Amino acid sequence: MKKGVLTILGVLLCFGLAACAGQQAAPSVSEQSSSQEQYSIQSPADSSAEEAAGSQASESSSVSTDAPAATERKLKMTIDGQEILITLYDTPAANALYDMLPLELTFEDFNGIEKIAYMDNELPTEGEPSEFDPDVGDLCLYAPWGNLSIFYKDFRNSNGLISLGHIDSGIELIQSMQEDFSATLSKDMD
């Protein structure tokens, strides 16, 4: 009798798990609003077509909700012969920065959190988000002052901060700089 009840419960559990396996939980309100800020929401028809295209494509692409998607445009920052590699995002401000290269800039420390440098030309800010929450290694524009910022420590969400890209390697060099320093920004053609 116990075996029969256990068998029935086991079968019911399998059916329940199989029925739930194809369903995903609805995103929370904060996830929905975050997704709406950067990406359009797909209709159910779009979702079905995407699922039909195969799960391999969805597994190979990852989306960050904190910053725009990275392109393959790279820039190189050279300090005393040492190179730092930076990936630029595909945004109007980052595109304008890339078009200005090469640049020779002098960076100084600001508040023990970031290194900043002023450029001769302004970057466009129209269409850019009005705030950003920078992490270690983020390259940003502080729109009110028109300066580039490289965050070597985590910082809070800030109005007027525009994400331009992220340092791929070499943040340790920035973190170790105690004095003002000169750097050359150039297109990385490798």
Confidence (pLDDT) at 12 = 54
In degrees and rounded to multiples of 5, residue 63 shows phi and psi of -120, 130
Confidence (pLDDT) at 97 = 96
pTM for the structure as a whole: 0.63
Flag whether 65 is in a domain.
no
Domain count, the chain: 2
Q: End of a domain among 60, 87, 109? A: 60
The C-alpha torsion from 177 through 178 and 180 to 183, rounded to 10°, is -10
55 and 110 assigned to the same domain: no
Residue 185 burial class via C-beta count within 10 angstroms: exposed 0-12, middle 13-18, buried 19 and up: buried
Q: End of a domain among 20, 38, 60? A: 60
Model confidence pLDDT, tens digit, residues 32-41: 333 333 323 3
107 and 27 assigned to the same domain: no
Are the beta carbons of 39 and 143 closer than 8 angstroms? no
Flag whether 39 is in a domain.
yes
Model confidence pLDDT, tens digit, residues 99-158: 999 999 999 999 999 999 999 999 999 989 999 999 999 999 999 999 999 999 999 999
The H-assigned helical ranges of 61-188 are: 92-100, 171-176
Within 13 Å of residue 143, how many CA atoms lie on the same side as its CB? Answer: 18
Model confidence pLDDT, tens digit, residues 165-181: 999 999 999 999 999 99
Instruction: Look up the domain containing 146 and give its range.
Output: 70-187
Q: Residue 98 has what DSSP assignment?
A: H
Peptide bond before residue 102 is cis, with ω within 30 degrees of 0: yes
